[in-house]
Amino acid sequence: MSYTFWMRLARCAGLAAAVVLFTCYVANAQSTAPSQDQASSGQASSSQASDTSYSSSQSGTAQVAELALPEAPAPRPSAAASGQYGNGGGNGGGEKKGIFHRLTFEAGGGFNAPISSSVTYGFNLTVGGGVRFDPHFSTLIEYQFLDDKLPGALIAETNGEATGGNAHIWSFTVDPVVDLAPKATNDVYVTGGGGFYRKVTTFTFPMAQEFCTYFTCGIGYVPGTVGHFSSNQGGFNVGGGFQHRLGGMYGESTTALFAEVRYLDVLSPAIVGKSANGLPPVTIDKDTKVLPISFGVRW
């Protein structure tokens, strides 16, 4: 064999030996080094052991704290919370009502009985509204209109230049109302107040006026104003009434029919020997006192 053949055989044998040695080295390194999963598992076990130790320490501390400190009492509901909507506030332990539920209104009318000599009988209309502060007490702002006829003796002072007349009184007053039995179906109340009054005394005389129907026209006579006095002043009223509540099983209804009487004193000035728009002079006593008797409904 030639020298070249032996050289090639030696090279192949050397290469084969190098491959075998490298393979053995890699296998030995893999068998001795710990795997990543094993390392992670070891770290997790160590962490669990540490957590267990820490938990045991915390448990022991908590047990000592429980022995040292009393149990915290349960929180009590505040006074403000007990009065909120649906939490027992309001009348009778029910739901607390707002301002709009406290509003109250009235409407009524009736007739007037005279006390002073400046007016005779007539009628009245009254409307009002206000706030019901509690079942016993409320306050109303009332508008009232009174229409009374003039007495014949006063009209006669015009020497026939007036054949009739009336006294109109408008008022705005503040009137508290005290209910004496707010839960009863039938009860009584007292009221009174004062405010602004305007009085107009008017003298009339029949005047011709044309009237027409679908078929024809004609001449008729209606009272026409020939003179008047007016004044603005204060006044007051006081009285009471009876009312009957409508509905409500336990007397909680706020709707009621009422009948009342009041003493009304309009502090109008006296008119002594004065002429109303050219009429003969007349005299009217100061103050206008009447007894308005009214019937109506409150809600």
- Tens of pLDDT, residues 235-259: 999 999 999 999 766 656 789 999 9
Question: Which one, of 288, 230, 295, 232, lies nearest residue 264 by Cα?
Answer: 288
Q: For residue 175, give the CATH number of its domain.
A: 2.40.160.20
Residue 217 resides in a domain: yes
Least confident of 92-106, 161-175, 271-285: 92-106
Residue 191 resides in a domain: yes
0.75 exceeded by the pTM?
Answer: no
Structural domain boundaries enclosing 230? 99-298
In the chain, the percentage of residues whose pLDDT exceeds 90 is 56
Query: Where residue 48 falls among pLDDT bands split at 50, 70, 90?
Result: very low
Task: Tell me if 148 sits within 8 A of 167, measured CB to CB.
Answer: yes
Number of domains present in the structure of the chain: 1
**What does the alpha-carbon distance between residue 133 and residue 188 come to, in Å, rounded to a whole number?**
18
Residue 248 resides in a domain: yes
